[in-house]
């Protein structure tokens, strides 16, 4: 029988996940189906139960259900615990296992597709919301020299650092994390600057100085499909710039691996999706 998978969200019509996963299935000769499912805002848990009863093997979860997915799980990966959110569910004999592949997707895009190794690098992570929390553990595990987390207010940054300090994966490992307001970045320079804020959705410029970008810096925006003010600022500074489309495909590839035990090739799929969103 064909194994069934899906992505659940609200809204969901815009999702590229069916295209991505069906391309992965085609190249790896996996017998599976993958569809997008619109869940009522107050009906996520019921929808998950229905899919389990229908024999689905797992689902991806997108906004606004990642926190509800986290609460729905019987078992959580360390990445899910650190993120406080789940984007991948595995259905296993009535047990619901939760994972979060966003951080792995980001790191794989940076290192494999963009040739930006993180070991020993100084990283600036802009924002302290869900996107930043989802990425942080994976970034720490690559042994950067330091990760500075900058946000308009530092309360959420300190909360984020506290969460990481309690992670079992990072036990006895130096965190090398530091909190910083945007205003205090004027005399600091970074090898990698990652925008994990949603400022690009409203075309809002972040109050960050041009001096944060080192000569060979990579400026990375987790958003994709648009040229954000952050990306425009970085381009004017003459540094390397990337959007988050590769992260989208790479986090899907990690979910595919969790489900199927095989790693798909991603570069051709990234290009395929990029060609699609340019139409």
Tell me the pLDDT tens digit for each residue of 75-130: 999 999 999 999 999 999 879 999 999 999 999 999 999 999 999 999 999 999 99
- Catalytic-role residue among 16, 47, 66, 121: 66
List alpha helices for the chain, DSSP H: 17-28, 44-53, 66-72, 78-83, 102-108, 130-140, 155-165, 229-236, 245-260, 267-278
Distance CA 151, CA 159 (A): 12
Q: Judge contact between 253 and 277, C-beta under 8 A.
A: no
* 3-100+246-278 topology per CATH: Rossmann fold (3.40.50)
Residues of the chain with CATH 3.40.50.10860: 3-100+246-278
pLDDT per residue as tens digits for the range 253-268: 999 999 999 999 999 9
Residues of the chain with CATH 3.40.50.720: 103-243
Q: What is the pLDDT of residue 148?
A: 98
Catalytic site residue 16?
no
Mean per-residue pLDDT, 154-172: 91
Backbone angles phi, psi at 151, to 5 degrees: -150, 160
Q: What is the pLDDT of residue 172?
A: 80
pLDDT tops 70 at residue 279: no
Band of pLDDT at residue 238, cut at 50, 70 and 90? very high
Distance CA 150, CA 183 (A): 9
pLDDT per residue as tens digits for the range 37-68: 999 999 999 999 999 999 999 999 999 999 99
Look up residue 252 and give its two tokens.
């899907």
Q: What is the pTM (predicted TM-score) of this model? A: 0.96
Q: What is the CATH superfamily name and number for domain 103-243?
A: NAD(P)-binding Rossmann-like Domain (3.40.50.720)
Mean per-residue pLDDT, 182-209: 95
């Amino acid at each position: 029988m064909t194994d069934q998978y899906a992505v659940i969200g609200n809204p969901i019509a815009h999702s590229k996940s069916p295209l991505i996963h069906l391309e992965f299935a085609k190249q790896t000769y996996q017998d599976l189906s993958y569809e997008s499912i619109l869940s009522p805002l107050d009906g996520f848990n019921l929808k998950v139960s229905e899919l389990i009863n229908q024999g689905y093997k797992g689902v991806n979860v997108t906004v606004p259900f990642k926190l509800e997915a986290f609460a729905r799980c019987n078992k959580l990966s360390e990445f899910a615990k650190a993120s406080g959110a789940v984007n991948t569910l595995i259905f296993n004999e009535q047990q619901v296992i939760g994972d979060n592949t966003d951080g792995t997707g980001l790191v794989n895009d940076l290192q494999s597709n963009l040739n930006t190794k993180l070991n020993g690098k100084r990283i600036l992570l802009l924002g302290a919301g869900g996107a930043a929390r989802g990425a942080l553990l994976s970034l720490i595990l690559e042994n950067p020299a330091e990760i500075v987390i900058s946000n308009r207010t530092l309360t959420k940054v300190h909360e984020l650092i506290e969460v990481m300090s309690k992670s079992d994966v990072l036990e006895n490992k130096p965190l090398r994390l530091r909190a910083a307001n945007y205003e205090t970045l004027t005399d600091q320079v970074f090898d990698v600057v990652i925008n994990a804020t949603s400022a690009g959705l409203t075309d809002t410029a972040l109050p960050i100085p041009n001096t944060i970008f080192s000569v060979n810096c990579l400026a990375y925006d987790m958003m994709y499909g648009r040229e954000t003010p952050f990306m425009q600022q970085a381009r004017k500074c003459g540094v390397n710039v990337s959007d988050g489309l590769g992260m989208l495909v790479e986090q899907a590839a990690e979910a595919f691996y969790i489900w199927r035990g095989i790693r798909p090739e991603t570069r051709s799929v990234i290009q395929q999706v990029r060609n699609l969103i340019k139409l």
